[in-house]
């Protein structure tokens, strides 16, 4: 009788440890998914803020360059905007790899030419030892309105 009780106890202990490992792994997967969605939303916010800067820039004052498309205070990669509260808490946004092609032929443009901007919005979100990142690449055409 004692042997049966020990075997049952060992089986229940093994089953409990297996369930504990499954729950721990599932919790980590959910955290990665949660922070991944936050990082995607933050990267999308970086795209939207960059597009606002692109389309509200007064071209008659100066030529628009990639350095003008910074998010917040972004001028170089690694100088990202960090959120300390709200939905994007513990997230950082940066614009990396901005490239500009001047006077690209475009027959639909009234002047016949457009400037093409290609930039990548990169966001990283996480807490303690768990970080996830997402990036979005956008290519935008902007016609000079002189």
In whole angstroms, what is the distance from residue 16 CA to residue 36 CA?
30
Task: Answer whether residue 45 shows pLDDT above 50.
Answer: yes
Query: What are 104's two structure tokens?
Result: 């690209």
Q: How far apart are CA 88 and CA 126, in angstroms?
A: 10
Mean pLDDT of the chain: 80
Q: What is the tens place of the pLDDT at every residue in 57-92? A: 666 555 677 776 655 433 344 456 777 667 777 888
pLDDT tens figures, 125-146: 888 788 899 999 999 888 765 5
Inter-residue contact 123 to 92 (CB < 8 Å):
yes
pLDDT of residue 74: 39
Return phi, psi of residue 112, to 5°: 90, -5
Lowest mean pLDDT among 34-43, 96-105, 114-123: 96-105
Among residues 67, 89, 90, which one has the least CA distance to residue 77?
67
Helix (H, G, I), strand (E, B) or coil at 95: strand
Dihedral angle, C-alpha 88, 49, 93, 104, nearest 10 °: 150
CA distance 57 to 50: 11
Residue 102's pLDDT is 78
Q: How many of the other CB atoms lie within 10 Å of CB of 3? A: 7
């Amino acid at each position: 009788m004692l042997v049966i009780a020990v075997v049952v106890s060992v089986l229940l202990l093994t089953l409990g440890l297996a369930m504990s490992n499954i729950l721990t792994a599932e919790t980590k997967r959910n955290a990665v998914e949660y922070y991944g969605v936050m990082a995607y939303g933050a990267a999308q916010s970086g795209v939207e803020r960059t597009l606002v800067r692109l389309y509200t820039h007064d071209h008659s004052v100066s030529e628009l360059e990639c350095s003008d498309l910074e998010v917040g205070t972004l001028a170089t990669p690694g100088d990202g905007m960090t959120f300390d509260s709200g939905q994007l808490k513990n997230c950082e946004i940066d614009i990396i790899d901005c490239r500009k092609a001047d006077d690209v032929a475009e027959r639909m443009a009234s002047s016949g030419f457009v400037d093409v901007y290609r930039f990548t919005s990169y966001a990283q979100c996480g807490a303690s030892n768990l970080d996830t990142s997402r990036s979005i690449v956008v290519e935008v055409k902007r016609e000079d309105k002189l």
